[in-house]
Amino acid sequence: MQLNKKKQVLLVGNPNVGKSTVFNTLCNKKQKTGNYAGVTVESYSGNYTYRDEQVEVVDLPGSYSVYPSSEDEAIFSKFLIDEQKNYTGVIYILEALSLKRGLLLFQQIQDLGVPLILVVNQIDQAERRGISIDMQRFSEALNIKIIQTNAKEQIGIDEIREAVFNNDFLKTEKISFETPNEHKDFLKKIAAHKGIDNEYKAWMTISSGIETGRIESVHDLLSNSEAKSLVPKRLQVQETVRRYQNVDKILANVISKKPQFKELLTEKLDKILVHKFWGYVVFLLILLLIFQSVFFFAEYPKGWIEDFFAWLSSFTKDNLPEGPLNSLVSNGIIPGLGGIMVFAPQIGILLYFLYLLEDSGYMARVIFLMDRFLRPFGLNGKSIVPLVSGTACAIPAVISTRNIENVKERLLTILVTPFMTCSARLPVYSIIIGLVISDRSFLGIKYKALVLMGMYLLGFLVALFSAAILKRFIKNEGKTYLVMDLPTYKKPLFGYDFKMVLGKVWDFITGAGKIIFIVSIIIWFLSYFGPQQKPNEMVATDVKLEQSYLAKMGKAIEPAIAPLGYDWKMGVGIITSFVAREVFVGTMSTLYSLDDDAPEMKVIDKMRNDVKPNGEKVFNFATGISILMFYAFAMQCVSTLAVVYRETKSWKWTGFQVVMMTGLAYFVSLFVYQILK
């Protein structure tokens, strides 16, 4: 059956109104959602088919106004206005608990002549607070079709699809914003001059500051008094005040609230969770609980994965014909892939807890709580979003800085976010902590959990310290203030978040697996052959690992890394991990699997028992801490570098970040090893 031409619609709304959840449900996508502002900072697109009609849904970044104050809002405004001829209409998402806030942007879009469907989301939250909305009156007052939804429960989604199919987008002819009388004559002049048939578009032309500041021809239309009165920010404030007065009149007739409604759980919890002292205590306790869980809950699945890959390696070794292929598969590829997959449970547990915190609304409190803490370091509360997101991956974290309005604060956040411990560092930390930290506990908390938490806090503190230094050298673009709504606490969708985690873990495994697969083959090849082999031996047999090309290359860099406590194997691991940090674990797994002295022994046991020529353990306490310090600071992710350049558009700052982080990693590791050895 032939499908009709694809229809494009935009998904628009304030931050944190469930827009991304609606997008995911409509298009069966798994875009990350969170219960705090600034999750979506790029325009995402997805497709669905309904009644043989293909629909493309573009999820634009959340915005509070058509006047952009940050990178993500600029993306929103540009797409909304410049692409108006290309999309059918806008699905506007309005949160039931924040009608007044959301109606400002809604009416601005409506006055631009954009066809709209209004979706009031999270109706259940309003009902729990005793808020009743007369949807019939509301629809009549706004002259718009309204659909009620609870996106997380998939309620109302089919109604949206049906409305899009029926083209229920309404375009109003009456502008709700009455422009000030003192500017009407000039607006007529500007409309005639620019060929604009919409009064509000003419108003936007001057209130956005574009025309009066950049196009000389418009200045000819201005009298001296008009020029003095047309201050863009002042006009925007004037518009906002008038619009909210109009919104108040509308809502007074459509909203009713039950009297004597008891204080909600949100208000009770916030007395502690955003407290100047107890808020930080609770946050640290939550982090400690998460890191304890990372080791406790992952212990058994890690063991199962280790046993499976050990069996698989042994099986292929016994059943494949003797020769290079046998060695490549059983000693190279399988141990390399197993070395990274064994940490999938820990990564999944960490991400799952982070998703639950975001989904519940707690992360918004962390932003609010951290604002006063981050200010002295040149950052603001919104910087905590990329910093916390950086614990999953630095790439989306750097992109999420677009919701930071101040240029200086955004650049500082981009430069220091890679210090945060991402999921790629977790396998490195886990294997090293497992090698050099005791299994004992303190007050029921494992030492390993305490050290892992310490590594995360170290990354955060170094990020702050670096920002405090860098802020002295980066020009300031004015002072900003954090203004945000704290959402109500919500019961997380445990199943939905679990599916999201499975998707992210699978992305990690497949992404890292591709790299490790290639690296494992290269490492095996360089370790299987050596310069002492005769030509007729190149296929028949392998050489001792110590006599291979890989060993020769590793020993060539050993003088540079020996002061840090590293041998040539660790040197090879560090070099390969410049592609991606987690490759270090795959490299070490492959290298130690190539050692035939104890083929039945697990890789981690081989690493634990490995000794230097002088009898000293290779992975002793001093060396282990040195490696942890190196990976805590080193910039070892090509993809992150590419994103940093894309966001800063500066090779200077990108190069500075690489040199700063790698240099710091080397000297801190050197200092730590020399002190502890």
Residue recorded with tokens 């190069």:
655
DSSP string, 412-424: HHHHHGGGS--TT
Put simply, whether the predicted model's pTM sits higher than 0.85 gets the answer no
Determine the 3-state secondary structure of 195 from DSSP: coil
Question: Is position 462 annotated in a ligand binding site?
Answer: no
In a domain, 334, yes or no: yes
Is there a binding annotation on residue 406? no
30 and 81 share one domain: yes
Q: Tell me: is residue 40 an annotated ligand-binding position.
A: yes
Between CA 584 and CA 100 the distance in angstroms is 52
Share of the chain above pLDDT 70, in %: 84
24 is in an annotated binding site: yes
> Looking at the predicted structure, is the pLDDT value of residue 92 above 80?
yes
Q: Is 232 annotated as a binding residue?
A: no
For the chain, the average pLDDT equals 78
- Confidence category of residue 294, pLDDT binned at 50, 70, 90: confident
pLDDT tens figures, 218-227:
555 555 555 5
pLDDT mean over 182-188 = 74
What mean pLDDT do residues 369-385 have?
A: 75
Contact status, residue 110 vs residue 116, Cβ threshold 8 Å = yes
- Residues 468 and 530 both lie in one domain: no
Residue 13 among known ligand-binding residues: yes
Looking at residue 122, which CATH number applies to its domain? 3.40.50.300
pLDDT tens digits along 580-593? 787 787 778 777 77
Contacts of 168 (CB under 8 A, 6+ apart): 117, 145
* 50-64, 241-255, 389-403, 552-566: the lowest-pLDDT one: 389-403
Question: Known binder of ligand: residue 318?
Answer: no
| Predicted confidence (pLDDT) per residue in 336-372, tens digit | 777 667 777 877 887 788 778 877 778 777 777 777 7
Q: Is 375 helix (H, G, I), strand (E, B) or coil?
A: helix
Question: Would 214 be classed as within a structural domain?
Answer: no
| 571 Cα distance to chain centroid | 31
Domain coverage including residue 631:
507-676
Looking at residues 374-400, what average pLDDT do you find? 74
* The pLDDT of residue 630: 93
Would you say residue 600 has pLDDT above 70? no
* 560 or 45, higher pLDDT: 560
Residue 164 assigned as binding residue: no
Kindly state the average pLDDT of the residues 146-172: 86
Three-state DSSP class for 480?
coil
Instruction: Please report which confidence band the pLDDT of residue 596 belongs to, taking 50, 70 and 90 as the band edges.
Output: low
Alpha helices in 83-230 (DSSP H): 99-111, 123-128, 135-142, 157-165, 181-194, 199-207, 210-214, 216-219, 224-229
User: 42 a known binding residue?
Assistant: yes
Are 462 and 525 contained in the same domain? no
- Cβ of 72: how many Cβ atoms within 10 Å? 26
Q: Please write the tens of the pLDDT for every residue from 29-79.
A: 655 444 334 444 456 788 888 888 889 888 887 788 888 766 666 777 777
Pairing of strands 44-50, 53-59: antiparallel
Same domain, 452 and 310: yes
- Rounded to an integer, what distance in angstroms lies between the CA atom of residue 677 and that of residue 564? 10
**Are residue 468 and residue 523 in the same domain, yes or no?**
no
pLDDT at 555 over 70: yes
Q: What is the distance between the alpha carbons of residues 524 and 550, in angstroms, rounded to a whole number?
A: 9
* pLDDT value of position 427: 83
150 is in an annotated binding site: no
Q: Is 38 marked as a binding-site residue?
A: yes
Identify whether residues 540 and 437 lie together within a single domain: no
Number of domains comprising the chain: 3
Does 108 belong to an annotated binding site? Answer: no
- 224 carries a ligand binding annotation: no
- Using alpha carbons, select from 300, 405, 389, 400 the residue that is nearest to residue 350: 389
Q: Residue 95, CB half-sphere, CA atoms under 13 Å: how many? A: 21
In a domain, 195, yes or no: no
| Angle at the Cα of 390 from the Cα atoms of 387 and 393, rounded to 5 degrees | 165
530 plus 422 within the same structural domain: no
Q: Is residue 216 part of a domain?
A: no
> Is 16 known as a binding-site position?
yes
- C-alpha 331/C-alpha 661 separation (Å) is 34
Same domain, 575 and 432: no
Has residue 305 been placed in a domain? yes
Domain contains 184? no
**Residue 121, annotated ligand binder?**
yes
How far is Cα 182 from Cα 174, in angstroms, rounded to an integer? 20
Residue 488: inside a domain, yes or no?
Answer: no
Look at residue 181 and tell me if it is in a domain: no
Q: Which residues contact 7 (CB under 8 A, 6 or more apart)?
A: 53, 54, 55, 56, 88, 164
- At residue 11, the 3 state secondary structure works out as strand
Residues 556 and 643 in one domain: yes
User: Which residue, of 118, 140, 166, is where some domain finishes?
Assistant: 166
Residues 657 and 579 in one domain: yes
- Which of 99, 132, 166 lies at the terminal end of a domain, its last residue? 166
Do residues 469 and 541 share a domain? no
